[in-house]
Structure 1
Amino acid sequence: MNTLPRRLAVIAGAQATCLQQVQALLPVGKRVVWITSADVAGALPANKAHTLLGQECDVLVFDAHSGFNVNAFAAVSGTLCGGGMLYLLTPPLDEWATFADPDYRRFIPHPYQPADVQGRFLQRFVRMLRDGCRSDFSPTVGLKPDLQSVAVTTIVQAVVPLVLTADRGRGKSAALGLAASQLRASGKRVLLTAPSRATVATVFKHAELPPHFFAPDELLQTLPEGEVLLVDEAAAIPIPLLLKMLAHYPRCVFSTTLHGYEGSGRGFALRFQKALDARASAWQAVRLHQPMRWAEHDPLEHFINQSLLLNADLAPFTPCGGRVGDGGNGTKDRQLDRDELAENEPLLRQLFGLLITAHYQTRPSDLRQMLDAPDISIHVLEQHGVIVAVALLSREGGLDEELTAAIHAGTRRPHGHPVPQTLTFHAQIPRAAELVCERVMRIAVDPTVQNQGLGAQLLQHLLGFAAQQQADYVGVSYALTPELQRFWERAGFVLARVGHRQDTASGSRSVVQVKALSAAAQQLFKGL
């Protein structure tokens, strides 16, 4: 266990100058990792940063001139060992928020360009860099340093389902590898599954007697013989698939990251543990707190958690009782101003904490997109000053006749506009991309007040907003479940398309539903 803190140094200026300065600072004989698209020997672009997971380095150089991919920044920071240095190369800090970041191309729709983005995320990020990320954040109190060995023993001895949770860098995957070796040495056949083999490199690194790896779909199709099933990064696997695994392999260990760049752990914990209570009430839980690669209360981990809201949680809330519509729930809806939201840290943490808890995939890039993408609007329901439901709308469509015809013919696919393009090309509705759509990107309700009509109330607000903005229709795409389909149908949405393949993240088919607002949309969708 490394007990040294890690440090962050910002080198700001022109890219060539920053590269020259940092090269002069690099120590000799240390493990150095470069994330840049510049011509540097051994460097990786940000979109390949995931290949470093499970590795370790002493110095990390992250070049934001090449595009500040915040998911990659959060992920590779976990490879930096205690005592290490992270050099962040940026444009001049006073100018960074107006820099035409190449990474914007990942989320801005046609015909916008990077120069059209206002840079709210970067304004906030620079402010946090300058003030040292001062906040009222209270670090988690670590447990005993030998807790990892306790976790290994618990995994080996467990005869009921086990849920192993930890923040990144706590040795969770290493514990799985060590336990797998002990189980195999005792004669047990051990199976391992995860979203991809690359994500379990650390498990194999610590397993002298490695388990047998199967991808989740292969595992459930073939059901190989095994006495213990280890599931790593379980939050990235749909819960229905996890429950099928549990039904066939009673000795399961479900391991997942809680606060991490994947942004899926806490929502998973709430939903999956509730399902476990119903199916295996005697299941056990183990939580690893103590960092293994760096010091407890590490300043770099603290800064990244704060600046990217990896540790944003639900706001404390006491439901006031009563259903929506009875006049006593004190709930009001409103649209948030994104400029004000970027300046209001408590409100931003509250909002993002709800999104992380409610959705199985909410990442740092979603925070950036939410603040910066053109034509996004944010809407909330508040009860006594606490956000109890949130929705994101994206204004899409309104494309010219020539481009719409090319989309319909399959010869053009401009970036963005997913619902209008799906309706035009896949559903073969010729003019759908010419009409203006407000797409519901996300809608989430605090788990403590679900099934009280709050989602339906917020949706009515969204429909009213879309009508005021003269949108022709409201659209939504989601992973099909009977419950969700009933929710949208009750609000008057009709089915426009069902995907042919199962969604890899949810395990369900994706569907598109629409609700016409204008006469033109009613005419266009009358056959649905």
Structure 2
Amino acid sequence: MSWLIVESREDFLSKLREAMVDARRRFYRNLVFIEKENFMDDLSDVISAFFEGAKEARVAYAFHPWADGAKERFELIRGQLRGKVDDIDYSSSEYYLGKTYDLVVLDLVDNFQPNYLGRLTDLASGGGLVIMYTNDLTKDKLFRNSIAKRGVIYEYYEERFRRKLREHEGVFLAGSEYLGKPFTGEVKVSQAKSLPKRIWFPKELHELCASEDQNKVLEEFRTLNRGGSRVLVLVAPRGRGKSAVAGLALAGLTWERMNSERRFRAVITAPSLSSASQVMEFARLGLKSLGDEPDVTLSDVGLIRSLKGDNYSIVYVNPETAVNEEGEVLVVDEAAAIGVNLLAQYVNNWKKVAFISTIYGYEGSGKAFLRYLRNLMAEKKVWTRWLTMNRPLRYAEGDPIEKWLYDALVLNAEPISPKDLELLEYETLDKGELFRDDSSLSQVYGILVSAHYRNNPDDLMIMGDGPHHVIKAMRSRDGYVAVSQISEEGGLQDTMIDLSLRGGTFDGDLIPDRLLKHSRIRDIGNMRGWRIVRIAVVQESQGMGIGSAMLNFIVSDAERQGLDWVGSSFMGDPKVLRFWVKNGFYPVHVSPKRNEKFGDFPVVVIKPLTDRARKAVGVATAIFKEKLLNTIHDVYFNMTPDMAVILLRGAKTHREIAVSRVYLAKIAAFLQGSSPYESSADGIHLLVQKYFWDSKRDWELTEDHERVLVAKVLQGRPWSYLISTIGMSRSRATELLYEAVSILAKKYYNVTEESQLGISLEDLGDEFTTL
């Protein structure tokens, strides 16, 4: 349908009223977008028009209440809002996920941030209305200003956003003119649900389900009550009721075990307590429907932290803590927002795990998440049930605003699968052209989100509007094959260097800031380089060397432009780190704090391109390696041995470490069996330090040998902890430790189990200070 260009505000409001009547009848939503300096009159009239058809309503009003004038704007219209009104600070909006509103009003005067907009638009119910208002989409916006570099910023994202408003039905625009495009499409309203023919969970729980999808999925959770290790994976777009049905299933599993002798304990984890709130709330409702009233523990903001009964408990813990918790079932909500290292540990340590996640958009890319989980389940050989849900609960299937939202925020970006890879061309993309070409943008962004499952709508705006963000790609004759997003960093003024050295922070120069703080070399701040934010290859073409080839093109490109370095920063996943080290990048920094949400240590790698950069990186690498080896038993105790091994292998800097004859004799006694490991641990520790500092050798232990040496000798993990971490029996770990020590002692000092077990004072030089 073409746009209705309305002559007056009265005609505009009349068309909007008609659309709202139809929306209530067919259970879809409409959107009004106001962009003009004198927005308040139009806003007031639109709200009045909405309440003509609703005596009262559930209302969400979102804004930054601390911004100048924001509270005053809210108070001006507060009197028009009839019913329950939640005034929502954007920064706390995740606490409202799972709630439903008839009217959602978004104040975009102070901030236009895609992540907030997508999250809150989804809260509007069928028959409802979403209103967004601003004076100007690009003028003085908080998030937009944070993307600017030296006062410069583009408008590619906002230009596309305005275009998408004009392309979709169900959208009404008030700006320099009044425009409306009423929805004329078809919708599918959910029919009355029917219960499955055979049900295992109590009927009371099924009656709390809002759709047949939920009823069917609820029954699938019974697999977690069966023997052996089992994983259930449930993914769906937002608004399908996946968290709610997970909570009902927990209530059912709890009920089933309530009268057993053994106490039942279920653990829920998620990126935040608010992310798990729906699971908790529906577990409570489910238990209540079964006649049980659990004791409820609430957080400071009123969210359920635990449910406890006579013989059960359902508790929330943070993602890192969940690894070593004990219980019968672990439910991981919004799993795509949690680090891969933690997901693997959940499968290692728990027999029954349910992974719940959004398939598009806000907490991550469901397709990349699913691919990772499929690979993990295949590797672990764990029985897995894969589930999805399609029917929306808040509004009718075919809702025009959901279609607009997915298109505007590129939530359903899809890469193609190029078949002709004979000739690939490396190019720098024109961002203006890219954001005007929906097909190319979907391909390019689709490659990035399919390979990196931690994405949110803000990423696309940063990529498009940031003048220091560059997009490189490799394309074949039939489409894009590989993409990289690059941030130009460095060239800092002395004032910025001083700020960093004093502990201050600033946006846009991540690698220089980290290296300044941890190496203290001022010259690093002056150098210019490229930080590769993301690099990805379309899934069907991975493993063919295309990513490494693209990396080489980027490095050569940077050299031609006279840059000092190319680097990257990412959450420490062994597979990703191995890629960078294989391609000649040096690890120069690992955060001393593990990211609690992702369970990984952020890592910085770098490849120097100029002589002064090589000197600075050499110093930074040595500093990093010394810190890692000297504090791995403390600061980095929770680092996985896999990660530590790759970091130590990649930090190719050399230092001579001498092992005295006393310690060599202790090592010989260990090899002979006359001294237990604990008695010879000091000598073995020195020998292992010598090995990892030796970058001149032309031989290596196996990675299994190195993992055991890192876990036991350097980190000092107890045998039980070590075994669960590296996934092998104690006898095998002990055998590998003995083999590794034997090889090192022989290679460096020709010490074997046949060597002398004691030495005389005459054999000692000045290695020790004597009394």
TM over 0.5: yes
Q: Residue 129 of structure 1 aligns with which residue?
A: 165
State the shift of 1:153 in Å. Answer: 0.9
State the shift of 1:19 in Å. Answer: 4.5
State the shift of 1:253 in Å. Answer: 1.6
Q: Measure the CA separation in 1 of the matches of 2:425 and 2:597.
A: 33
Q: Measure the CA separation in 2 of the matches of 1:408 and 1:192.
A: 41
Change (3 A) 1:45 1:106: farther
Change (3 A) 1:3 1:476: same
Q: Measure the CA separation in 2 of the matches of 1:511 and 1:71.
A: 25
Change (3 A) 1:449 1:316: closer
Q: Residue 323 of structure 2 aligns with which residue?
A: 220
State the shift of 1:332 in Å. Answer: 1.8
Q: Residue 102 of structure 1 aligns with which residue?
A: 142
Q: Aligned to 1:168, which of 227, 238, 242?
A: 238
Contact 1:46 1:69 in 2 (8 A): no
Change (3 A) 1:5 1:472: same
Q: Measure the CA separation in 2 of the matches of 1:299 and 1:475.
A: 42
Q: Measure the CA separation in 2 of the matches of 1:426 and 1:141.
A: 58
Q: Residue 179 of structure 1 aligns with which residue?
A: 249
State the shift of 1:370 in Å. Answer: 0.6
Q: Verify: 1:413 aligned to 2:473, yes or no.
A: no
State the shift of 1:281 in Å. Answer: 5.2
Q: Verify: 1:44 aligned to 2:146, yes or no.
A: no
Q: Residue 345 of structure 2 aligns with which residue?
A: 244
Q: Measure the CA separation in 1 of the matches of 2:490 and 2:139.
A: 27
Letter aligned with residue 203 of structure 1: V
Q: Verify: 1:4 aligned to 2:27, yes or no.
A: yes
State the shift of 1:524 in Å. Answer: 2.9
Letter aligned with residue 155 of structure 1: F
Q: Residue 312 of structure 1 aligns with which residue?
A: 413
State the shift of 1:103 in Å. Answer: 2.0
Q: Verify: 1:120 aligned to 2:156, yes or no.
A: yes
Q: Verify: 1:154 aligned to 2:230, yes or no.
A: no
Q: Residue 325 of structure 1 aligns with which residue?
A: none
Q: Verify: 1:264 aligned to 2:365, yes or no.
A: yes
State the shift of 1:18 in Å. Answer: 5.0
State the shift of 1:141 in Å. Answer: 12
Q: Verify: 1:192 aligned to 2:192, yes or no.
A: no
Provide the aligned C-alpha RMSD in A. Answer: 2.6
Q: Residue 62 of structure 2 aligns with which residue?
A: 35
State the shift of 1:330 in Å. Answer: 2.0
State the shift of 1:129 in Å. Answer: 0.6
Q: Aligned to 2:518, which of 398, 416, 426?
A: 426
Q: Measure the CA separation in 1 of the matches of 2:394 and 2:186.
A: 20
Q: Deviations over 1:337-381 (max 9, x none)?
A: 001101111000111111111112111100101100121110011
Q: Measure the CA separation in 1 of the matches of 2:42 and 2:474.
A: 45
Contact 1:264 1:357 in 2 (8 A): yes
State the shift of 1:178 in Å. Answer: 1.2
Q: Verify: 1:76 aligned to 2:76, yes or no.
A: no
> 1 or 2, which has the higher helix percentage?
2
Q: Residue 463 of structure 1 aligns with which residue?
A: 555
Q: Residue 435 of structure 2 aligns with which residue?
A: 342
Q: Measure the CA separation in 2 of the matches of 1:401 and 1:12.
A: 41
Contact 1:246 1:252 in 2 (8 A): yes
Change (3 A) 1:205 1:526: closer
State the shift of 1:118 in Å. Answer: 2.1
Higher mean C-alpha deviation, range 358-367 or range 155-164: 155-164
Change (3 A) 1:138 1:329: farther
Higher mean C-alpha deviation, range 186-195 or range 168-177: 186-195
Q: Measure the CA separation in 2 of the matches of 1:85 and 1:139.
A: 17
Q: Measure the CA separation in 2 of the matches of 1:448 and 1:170.
A: 30
Change (3 A) 1:302 1:264: same
Change (3 A) 1:401 1:83: same
Q: Deviations over 1:96-140 (max 9, x none)?
A: 4x534232133334x32xxx3221101001011112279xx9999
Q: Residue 276 of structure 1 aligns with which residue?
A: 377
Structure 1 portions without partners, runs of 5+:
321-327
Q: Measure the CA separation in 2 of the matches of 1:518 and 1:21.
A: 63
Q: Measure the CA separation in 2 of the matches of 1:128 and 1:283.
A: 40
Letter aligned with residue 519 of structure 1: D
Contact 1:234 1:254 in 2 (8 A): yes
Q: Measure the CA separation in 2 of the matches of 1:198 and 1:102.
A: 24
Contact 1:161 1:280 in 2 (8 A): no
Q: Aligned to 1:386, which of 475, 479, 485?
A: 479
Q: Measure the CA separation in 2 of the matches of 1:426 and 1:300.
A: 48
State the shift of 1:186 in Å. Answer: 1.0
Q: Residue 497 of structure 2 aligns with which residue?
A: 404
Higher mean C-alpha deviation, range 426-435 or range 517-526: 517-526
Q: Deviations over 1:478-513 (max 9, x none)?
A: 223444333223333222222212233542222222
Q: Measure the CA separation in 2 of the matches of 1:520 and 1:476.
A: 19
Change (3 A) 1:273 1:499: same
**Residue correspondence of structure 1 range 51-70 to structure 2 within 5 A:** 51-70=95-114
State the shift of 1:384 in Å. Answer: 2.8
Q: Residue 545 of structure 2 aligns with which residue?
A: 453
Q: Measure the CA separation in 2 of the matches of 1:253 and 1:269.
A: 13
Question: Highest Rg: 1 or 2?
Answer: 2
Letter aligned with residue 476 of structure 1: S
Contact 2:319 2:597 in 1 (8 A): no
Q: Measure the CA separation in 2 of the matches of 1:342 and 1:380.
A: 15
State the shift of 1:142 in Å. Answer: 9.3
Contact 1:148 1:175 in 2 (8 A): yes
Contact 1:140 1:289 in 2 (8 A): no
Q: Residue 722 of structure 2 aligns with which residue?
A: none
State the shift of 1:427 in Å. Answer: 2.2
Higher mean C-alpha deviation, range 234-243 or range 306-315: 234-243
Q: Measure the CA separation in 2 of the matches of 1:406 and 1:32.
A: 44
Q: Residue 278 of structure 2 aligns with which residue?
A: 202
Q: Deviations over 1:72-115 (max 9, x none)?
A: 111112211111100111336xxx4x534232133334x32xxx
**Residue correspondence of structure 1 range 481-492 to structure 2 within 5 A:** 481-492=573-584
Q: Residue 436 of structure 1 aligns with which residue?
A: 528
State the shift of 1:26 in Å. Answer: 4.8
Change (3 A) 1:525 1:68: same
Q: Measure the CA separation in 2 of the matches of 1:23 and 1:478.
A: 45
Give secondary structure in 2 for the equivalent of 1:121. helix
Change (3 A) 1:139 1:416: farther
Contact 1:58 1:84 in 2 (8 A): yes
Contact 2:368 2:453 in 1 (8 A): yes
State the shift of 1:31 in Å. Answer: 1.1
State the shift of 1:296 in Å. Answer: 0.4
Give secondary structure in 2 for the equivalent of 1:443. strand
Q: Measure the CA separation in 2 of the matches of 1:450 and 1:443.
A: 12
Letter aligned with residue 219 of structure 1: A
Give secondary structure in 2 for the equivalent of 1:433. helix
Letter aligned with residue 460 of structure 2: L
Contact 2:511 2:569 in 1 (8 A): yes
